[in-house]
Structure 1
Amino acid sequence: MKALVVGGGIGGLAAAVAFHQRGWQVEVLERAPEITEIGAGLSIQPNGLRALDAIGLGEQVRTGGQAGPPRGIRGVNGAWLIRNDVEDLERRFGPWAIIHRAALVDILRAALPAHALRPGTTVRKVLPDGTVHHDGGTTTADLVIGADGVRSVTRRSIWPHAAGPRYVGYSTWRLLTASDGVEGSVETWGRGDRFGCVPMPDGRVYCYLMSNAPAGSRTGLDRLRERFAHWHDPIPALLDAARPDAVLQHDTYKLPNLRTFVHGKVAVLGDAAHAMAPNLGQGACQALEDAVTLAAAVDTLGIDAGLQDYDRLRRPRTQMVAQLSHRVAAPAHWNSPLATALRDAALPLLPSALLGRSITPTYSWTL
């Protein structure tokens, strides 16, 4: 049996590994000239680590990148708006890890035979019968897995009338910078702006910033330093230590819900199926869940029944996580001074266990 994966990112490689381990012939078509990943840090939460455990790679990620649960949310002046019980979160759900995106791709890629990888291959069209047209010719497979991102060719080929990506109203910047007293994962909310930081195992700090902005606008590091100059320590120092060439900016998009993730011999996963705002840090984790669930279902039940089972298991869950991700950070992007003042006054009054209860369905996933 042959599985053809369109897209060599985290979800696509994880799917290829999962099928390869089950004895399938796999082939990964990736349009980039090499299979790697740009970006900065990536938080792998307990559910994502359990998905990696299913393909035997979880311990490798844990060993290289132990991290604690998120400590909570601060206001611009440094006061805690929400403070999490990190010991309780880790006791209930298990460990967190932090890793560079490229390092995770390297781990996944190393679990595949070199001949399975075909970088520099641009897919033009995918047909429901398992035929894939690309710039190297035509390939057929028993199963085609579309893992080609938010602007997925697979999704557009199979569901040409489905709505495309929608801009959520804010841009995202990611960077790695020198450490400056960061002891754990913390996010700070302002008025239409957010700043998050997570210490990396190598001593650097992964930072992410989100600000309300028109789609397509670009803001450099100097302007970001000005925008966050009055925020609490160590935010200004972290930005001062950053290099302009280390800052990546991307507009933030989500995908409207699909009615199904499967059609014929084709399935979509990850951002191709359910791109979501990165507010819960669940994008990669959900793609990993998708990958191992798809392989288990199809290999156990056969292609037709397995695809239906994959859709039954994954579509409601990922769409729930996407909706939660959209809602959870909406107050951070309020522009009204009155609304944000009320937010900052109300959030500290919420029960300390609120996050644990609200996020339980996300973190507690098992295959």
Structure 2
Amino acid sequence: MRIVIAGGSMAGLFAAALLRKAGHDVQVHERSRAGLEGRGAGLVAQQEVFDLLHRIGRDEVARLGVVARERITLARDGSIASAGGPPQMQISWDHLYVATRMQIPDEAYHLGRGAIAAGQDADGAWLELDDGERIHADLVIGADGIGSAVRRSMLPDDAGPRYTGYVAWRALVPEALLPVSAADVLSDRFAFFHMPGGQALGYTVTGANGELTPGQRRYNAVWYRTTPDLAATLTNVDGRVHPYSLPPGTVRPDAAREMVTSARSLLPWPFADVFAAEPQPFVQAIFDMETPRMAAGRLALIGDAAFVARPHTAMGVAKAAGDAMALAHAVNRGWTSEARGDFEAERLGTGRAIVDYGRRLGASLG
């Protein structure tokens, strides 16, 4: 089957790797011109990720990560209010991305190719790109994230994402840049701080190239913070408002300074030190989104193009892996009406449950 995938992050890569392994002709079109390597931190892998890695022959990826020896909750003064819990490993997002990307030959993975529309007719499906090219296929898969062009084309009346009232400020700091006093508290621990209308958390992850040696790793910190004026928060250095997030290097210096100043006044000092040490903080608005359909004829949706759950669930990559495996199974059954129905029934129920779980976890924040 000739298959075109819009979106080359985890969901798109997972689907492409599985479908190519099954013998299908798969082409992936990713909007980013520079690629996505280096953008991720760590993730808590769920069973779906392990299952997918086994299916593509990359089981070893699940064994590369940093183990948090315990969970701690910080008090406002930076002391440890509580500690305990079993050790937990965070695998490397970057290593997972690269390992899966290696399953796709370069000639089948196209950068700088953003989707703007999709459709179908009696002859098949098509994907239109932002350079005006229209690519025809037997199946078009929308794995193009929260702002999915495939979803908008497939479901023009869909309500789309709903802002929850808060954002996640993020820092991914080389371990060598952390003040020693902060590293002594935070390194190799899963740390939390709870406050009215906010939450901070962090943990140690591998270095950008998978380094596990102390001093060569990175510290990943997230601060969930209520933000009524989303447009102001997502206005970049050039004065342009982004709809969902600002990547590293695009946050305005005045906004970054305000964030650090607020961290000093509101967060325990170890977390404030992390954000002060980050030269390029980035910010992500938190949304809820659930689609009523994931398949319509020769069009399909997976990953964040279909459901966006709050990050508190730690299930975004697992959801993408589950979507990809169910989709590949339906395609290998011939993408018949029955196969599409089974795919939708399974994944719609899972997606709704994860989004609802995220709402419950974030209820105190927005």
Same fold, judged at TM 0.5 (above) = yes
**Residue 152 in structure 1 maps to residue 148 in structure 2:** yes
State the Cα deviation string for residues 291-310 of structure 1 (Å, max 9, x = none). 12211232145443322211
What amino acid does structure 1 have at the position aligned with 2:225?
S
Taking structure 1 as the reference length, what is the TM-score of the superposition?
0.79
Change (3 A) 1:131 1:236: closer
Cα RMSD, aligned residues only: 2.5
Q: Shift of the alpha carbon at 1:82?
A: 7.9
Q: Shift of the alpha carbon at 1:223?
A: 2.2
Classify the secondary structure of the residue corresponding to 1:174.
strand
Query: 2:171, 2:274 within 8 Å by CA — same for their partners in 1?
Result: no
Q: Shift of the alpha carbon at 1:283?
A: 1.6
Point out the more displaced range, 280-289 or 45-54: 45-54
Query: 2:327, 2:343 within 8 Å by CA — same for their partners in 1?
Result: yes
- Partner residue of 1:132? 127
Change (3 A) 1:69 1:304: farther
**Residue 285 in structure 1 maps to residue 280 in structure 2:** no
Change (3 A) 1:96 1:145: farther
Classify the secondary structure of the residue corresponding to 2:158.
coil
1:37-48 pair list within 5 angstroms: 37=37, 39-48=39-48
Query: 1:40, 1:175 within 8 Å by CA — same for their partners in 2?
Result: no
Bigger strand fraction: 2
State the Cα deviation string for residues 138-166 of structure 1 (Å, max 9, x = none). 22222211000101000000000010221
Classify the secondary structure of the residue corresponding to 1:71.
strand
Bigger helix fraction: 1
What amino acid does structure 2 have at the position aligned with 1:115?
E
Which of 235, 243, 252 is 2:271 aligned to? 235
Taking structure 2 as the reference length, what is the TM-score of the superposition?
0.80
1:95-106 pair list within 5 angstroms: 96-99=89-92, 101-106=93-98
Change (3 A) 1:82 1:25: farther
Distance 2:305 2:4 in 1: 15
Which of 278, 288, 302 is 1:269 aligned to? 302
Structure 1: tracts of 5 or more residues without a match: 88-94, 335-367
Change (3 A) 1:298 1:240: same
What amino acid does structure 1 have at the position aligned with 2:190?
S
- Partner residue of 2:255? 220
Query: 1:6, 1:145 within 8 Å by CA — same for their partners in 2?
Result: yes
Distance 1:118 1:46 in 2: 29
- Partner residue of 2:240? none
Point out the more displaced range, 145-154 or 181-190: 181-190
Change (3 A) 1:237 1:57: farther
**Percent identity, aligned pairs only?**
23
Change (3 A) 1:238 1:130: same
**Residue 208 in structure 1 maps to residue 200 in structure 2:** no
1:332-343 pair list within 5 angstroms: 333=365
- Partner residue of 1:252? 286
Change (3 A) 1:295 1:21: same
Query: 2:74, 2:268 within 8 Å by CA — same for their partners in 1?
Result: no
- Partner residue of 1:90? none
Structure 2: tracts of 5 or more residues without a match: 208-216, 234-253
Change (3 A) 1:298 1:171: same
